[in-house]
Structure 1
């Protein structure tokens, strides 16, 4: 009887020992899995926060870039501001002034040469004078006074065309700069000015009041890294 009790006690002790060992192994495995999962989730959240932060940085519009690009190449700043319809306008203004310069400079050179020939009475060089600078009635070149007037007029128009070209270029830079600053300006319906009717209960007289509704930017939460 005593031997049976000893055997039963030994068996119970062994079963209990194995059960505690299995429980300890399960606990360790659970801790490892939980730790790995938490680390993985933390890494994913950090990556998402970095991606959101990068997307916000990339979307920021820099007016100085629009200014620099328009100064280097007309229309480039308008393209940066995504106002593509202005590019043909810019090049039309520059093209007209450049064409005016070429035209006036060409006729300035012709009238200058014709004036020199007539003043110095170089009749052998009359053939080199442009046909439009001849008097159709006499068949002779215009007088020196007339050629001098045309020469000075074409020279003045040529100089003005250079000035207009530079002004057009400068306006292209100014336009890109101004609209670069206004690119992120709030022009939504939240910016309003309304005239509302009022009524003074004390004097019992109606009146008009001006109401301003200015939009306030909500505080943006910083990304969590």
Structure 2
């Protein structure tokens, strides 16, 4: 009897041990090699032209707005040309006014009373001190207009250079910053965050 019980117990334990010794096949692990086809268009990367920024800056230096046209940013051309035209017109106006007041002051210093600011009587409409102040004001405005025009010209060149650099900047899925929304079942609300992904 003892023998039958021990054989039966050994028989039952062997089924239990065999049941625990079985491992399930991992469904995520694929040991068979499938054929992999890669589209060449996906792997091709746009070549970087290291001279493109310098070409754009050179074109903008030769003719303002030409660098923006080279970068295909046509909407910037009227802004550049308008800024330069406005600066040149303000410079020209102030230069003409400065020359008018300077010529009148020079004629008064020479002893003439026939300048346009003297008038018809014996006393002038505008005094000599007022002519000096007007010369200073228009000379200052002329110089500021010249500096602003040179600044707009320099910004035109810098913009073309930087824009050409940024056109070649690689923005792909290997570096991505995306908003992250995750449902939190413990608080019954959504967790908000930002994820920064690097793929190598």
Match of 1:64 in 2: 54
Across the aligned residues of Structure 1 and Structure 2, the Cα RMSD in angstroms comes to 3.2
In 2: Cα distance, 1:159 partner to 1:98 partner: 11
1:146 to 118, 130, 135: 130
In 2: Cα distance, 1:98 partner to 1:136 partner: 35
User: What does 1:89-100 align with in structure 2 at a 5 Å threshold?
Assistant: 89-100=79-90
User: What does 1:127-142 align with in structure 2 at a 5 Å threshold?
Assistant: 129-130=115-116, 133-134=117-118, 140-142=124-126
Residue 63 of structure 1 contacts residue 181 of structure 1 at CA under 8 Å; is this kept in 2?
Answer: yes
Match of 1:157 in 2: 141
Q: TM-score, structure 1 length as denominator?
A: 0.57
- CA deviation map 1:85-122 (0-9, x unaligned): 21111111111111111111111111001112224431
Q: CA deviation at 1:209?
A: 3.1
Q: TM-score, structure 2 length as denominator?
A: 0.63
Number of residue pairs aligned between Structure 1 and Structure 2: 152
In 2: Cα distance, 1:97 partner to 1:210 partner: 45
Gaps of 5+ in 1: 1-52, 218-225
Note if 1:180 corresponds to 2:164: yes
In 1: Cα distance, 2:120 partner to 2:71 partner: 56
In 1: Cα distance, 2:156 partner to 2:192 partner: 43
In 1: Cα distance, 2:120 partner to 2:70 partner: 55
Match of 1:195 in 2: 180
Match of 1:88 in 2: 78
Gaps of 5+ in 2: 1-43
In 1: Cα distance, 2:193 partner to 2:68 partner: 40
Runs of 4+ in 1 over 4 A off after TM superposition: 134-139, 186-190, 204-207
In 2: Cα distance, 1:193 partner to 1:185 partner: 19
User: What does 1:24-35 align with in structure 2 at a 5 Å threshold?
Assistant: none
In 2: Cα distance, 1:71 partner to 1:196 partner: 48
Q: 1:182 to 1:122 in 2, by over 3 A?
A: same
